[in-house]
Structure 1
Amino acid sequence: MEEDLISKKELLELTGISYGQLYRWKRKNLLPEEWFIHKSAFTGQETFFPKQQILARIDKIMHMKDGLSLDELANMFSTVPSDLAITKKELIERNIVSTNTVDYAEHHVGNPTLYSFEQTLYLYLLEHCLQTGEMNLDEGKYLLQTLLEHYAKFDGKNCDLIFIRKMGISAFLLVSLGSEIYFESGVKIILRVNVARSIEELKLTLTAR
C-alpha cells in the first residue's frame, strides 16, 4: 500500500506557488523535511510529496500568512508542540474531547491534574476515531496502548496511525509518513489518520478563544 504522491512540478502548477516559495517554507520549517521524498523517475531523480498532506498545508499557509509571520506559522505547524497544561474540566467544556472519552482514557493514561499536550493528543486521536463510527470504545484501549508504547519513538517526526481489522480482530500501527505497507489477504484498513495533521488541528483548537 503506497500513499498517493504528487510530483514537485505538479505541485507548483496546481498551487501556483514558486520554486523559491516552496524551499523558503521548507527552510522555515513550515514544510517537514520528510515530506520531500526523492524517487527515481524516467527523467532521473525527482521530488515527490504526500499529496493530501502538502496540499492541505499549503492551503493553510496561503490563507494564514497575511495574519501570522512565517515563524508563528512554523511554531503552529511544528510536530514538537509548545508546553501545555490543561485540566480535564477545560478539555470537556471546550469540546476538545467528550466526557466519555476522558473517563475511558483515564484507565490507560492515568488521571493527571493537568494534561500535557501529548496526553491531550492521545485523547484527541481517540475521540476522532470514535466519532467516525468505525471504532468502538473497547478497541480504544489498543489505540492508546499503541500511542503510549511507540509514539515517542518517532521523536517528533510525522507518522500515520493506522487501524486495521481482520475477521473481527483489530490492531493499530504507527508508521512513518510515506511508508509502503502490505498486509496479508483479508486485512482491511479501517482508518488512517495523519498525526501531524491532528496536531495542527488540536493546536488551532487549543489557541482559539
Structure 2
Amino acid sequence: MEEDLISKKELLELTGISYGQLYRWKRKQLIPEEWFIRKSAFTGQETFFPKERILRRVHNIINMKGDLSLDELAEKLADTTSYAHPHLSLSAAQLLERNIVSLTTLNRFGDATAGGKKYTFEQVVHLVAVDGLLSKGEMNLDEADGLFRTLTKNTAKFAGKNWELFFIRKMGASFFLLAATPADLIFDDGTRLVSRLSLTDLVEQLNGKLN
C-alpha cells in the first residue's frame, strides 16, 4: 500500500523549482528527510516523493517564503499549531468565495443557505478533508458521510496533537482509521490504501487558500 509517488525530475519540471532549491529546503528541514524516497528505476536508483504532500509543501513554501526567512519558515512548518487559525470562523459564503470547499460538500455537510452560521477552524478542516477526496473521485457520497462522522466524533480525542487518516478498502468495504502522527500501519494482503491524509497536510492546504 503505497502513496502515489512523483519522481524528482517530474517534481522539478512541474513546479519550476531548481535542484539547488530543493536540496537547500531539505537542509533547512522545510521538506522532511523521509519524503526523499530512493527506489530502483530503469535508469538506476532515483529519488521519488509522496506526490500530494510534496506538491502541497512546495506550493506553500513558495507562497510563504517572501515574508519569512527559511529558518523561520522551517519552524513554522514544523509546528502545525503555529500556522493554524484556532479562532477562525468563516461563513458558508466565504468558504465558497475562497474556493475552500465545493457547494456539493457544503450542502451535504453544512448549510450553504445559512447566512449567519460560522464554521470553526476544526469544522473547516473536516470539510476540506471530505471535499478533497470527493473532488478527486476517490470516494462516493456514502463513504464521505462515514468520513465526516469519523472526523467529527474522533479528532478531538487527539487533544491538539497531530493525527493521520487512512482511508482503505478491502473486498469492496471501506474503512477509516485515525492514528497519532507519525503512524506506520501495516495491513494484510488485499487491502488497498485509497488515501492518506494528515492534519498537517490539511492545515497546509487550508492555509494556502486563506493567504
TM over 0.5: yes
Partner residue of 1:169?
173
Partner residue of 2:183?
179
CA distance in 2, matches of 1:123, 1:173: 17
User: TM-score normalised to the size of structure 1?
Assistant: 0.66
Partner residue of 1:8?
none
- Alignment root-mean-square deviation, CA: 3.6
Alignment equivalent of 1:120, drawn from 120, 124, 136: 124
Q: Which amino acid aligns with 1:106?
A: G
CA distance in 1, matches of 2:58, 2:103: 34
Would the aligned equivalents of 1:2 and 1:180 in 2 still touch at CA under 8 Å?
no
Alignment equivalent of 1:145, drawn from 137, 149, 173: 149
Partner residue of 2:80?
79
Give how far 1:77 is off.
Answer: 6.5
Would the aligned equivalents of 2:164 and 2:178 in 1 still touch at CA under 8 Å?
yes
Q: Which amino acid aligns with 1:68?
A: L
Partner residue of 1:136?
140
Partner residue of 1:155?
159
CA distance in 2, matches of 1:94, 1:17: 29
Partner residue of 1:49?
34
Would the aligned equivalents of 1:164 and 1:190 in 2 still touch at CA under 8 Å?
yes
Q: Judging changes above 3 Å, is the alpha-carbon distance between structure 1 residues 155 and 87 closer, same or farther for their aligned structure 2 residues?
A: same
Give how far 1:183 is off.
Answer: 1.8
Partner residue of 1:7?
none
Which moved further from structure 2: 54-63 or 87-96? 54-63
Would the aligned equivalents of 2:56 and 2:205 in 1 still touch at CA under 8 Å?
no
Partner residue of 2:23?
15
CA distance in 1, matches of 2:165, 2:129: 9
Q: How does 1:30-69 map to 2 (within 5 A)?
A: 49-51=34-36, 52=50, 57=57, 60-61=60-61, 64-68=64-68
CA distance in 2, matches of 1:85, 1:56: 23
Q: Judging changes above 3 Å, is the alpha-carbon distance between structure 1 residues 85 and 73 closer, same or farther for their aligned structure 2 residues?
A: farther
Give how far 1:86 is off.
Answer: 0.5
Give the match's secondary structure for 1:124.
helix
Deviation sequence 1:33-58 (CA, Å, 0-9, x none): xx7xxxxxxxxxxxx63544689657
Alignment equivalent of 1:194, drawn from 182, 187, 198: 198
Unaligned runs of 5+ in 2: 6-21, 37-49
Q: Judging changes above 3 Å, is the alpha-carbon distance between structure 1 residues 135 and 54 closer, same or farther for their aligned structure 2 residues?
A: closer
Would the aligned equivalents of 2:163 and 2:198 in 1 still touch at CA under 8 Å?
yes
Would the aligned equivalents of 2:93 and 2:115 in 1 still touch at CA under 8 Å?
no
What is the aligned-residue identity percentage? Answer: 36
Give the match's secondary structure for 1:179.
coil
Would the aligned equivalents of 1:61 and 1:73 in 2 still touch at CA under 8 Å?
no
